[in-house]
């Protein structure tokens, strides 16, 4: 499941059996394979799992596709990049997204994928905006918070 780069890991990934259980739970909930934030939140609640773990699991199942709801999308590698902090990055992005949504501010989507083909630069994040795609190599919670503010302005 993890095709990680040959660096010394900095983080412990979510256990593979937990990811497999969450992936199965998602597939049972979305026969059509389309994921949206509400469905992912409900799955996390039903499966009693952290939301970021559910997002990480979703990225590992190619048949599951995220619906696009905003012009700005943060796509996080949730495969081998878990060894380099992808889960804390996801936690930060999900918290920032929810904060912006609650404040009725312009917001963004959080999507995941099992690999973004830049494994040596994990945690790898790609940011899609109307201006194009930007890579955030070696992403951290601080780096993605800055990127959200750059793309959408500071949250009030």
Chain positions contacting ligand FES, by CB under 6 A = 3-4, 77, 79-81, 115-119, 122, 124
Write down the least CB distance from residue 89 to ligand FES, Å: 11
Nearer to ligand FES, 21 or 118 (CB): 118
Write down the least CB distance from residue 21 to ligand FES, Å: 21
Nearer to ligand FES, 9 or 155 (CB): 9
Q: At what angle do helices 51-59 and 86-102 cross, to 10 degrees?
A: 120
Nearer to ligand FES, 35 or 56 (CB): 56
The number of beta carbons lying within 10 Å of the beta carbon of residue 36 is 14
Nearer to ligand FES, 54 or 86 (CB): 86
Nearer to ligand FES, 28 or 117 (CB): 117
* Residues paired with residue 150 on neighbouring β-strands, in sequence order: none
Write down the least CB distance from residue 52 to ligand FES, Å: 16
- Burial call 121-138: b when 16+ CB within 10 Å, e when fewer: bbbbbbbbbeeeeeebeb
DSSP of 75-128, one letter per residue? EEE-SGGGGGTHHHHHHHHHHHHHHHHHTT----EEEEES--S-GGGPSPEEEE
Residue 32: name the closest of 64, 71, 1 by CA. 64
Write down the least CB distance from residue 32 to ligand FES, Å: 27
Write down the least CB distance from residue 29 to ligand FES, Å: 25
């Amino acid at each position: 499941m993890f095709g990680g780069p040959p660096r010394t890991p900095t983080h412990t990934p979510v256990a593979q059996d937990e990811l497999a259980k969450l992936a199965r739970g998602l597939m049972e909930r979305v026969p059509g394979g389309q994921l949206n934030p509400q469905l992912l939140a409900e799955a996390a609640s039903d499966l009693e799992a952290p939301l970021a773990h559910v997002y990480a699991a979703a990225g590992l199942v190619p048949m599951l596709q995220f619906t696009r709801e905003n012009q700005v999308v943060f796509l996080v590698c949730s495969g081998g990049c878990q060894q380099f902090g992808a889960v804390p990055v996801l936690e930060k992005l999900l918290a920032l997204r929810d904060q912006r949504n609650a404040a009725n501010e312009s917001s963004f989507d959080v999507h995941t994928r099992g690999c973004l083909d830049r494994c040596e630069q994990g945690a790898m994040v790609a940011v899609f905006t109307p201006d194009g795609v930007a890579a955030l190599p070696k992403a951290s919670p601080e780096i993605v918070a800055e990127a959200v503010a750059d793309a959408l302005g500071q949250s009030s």
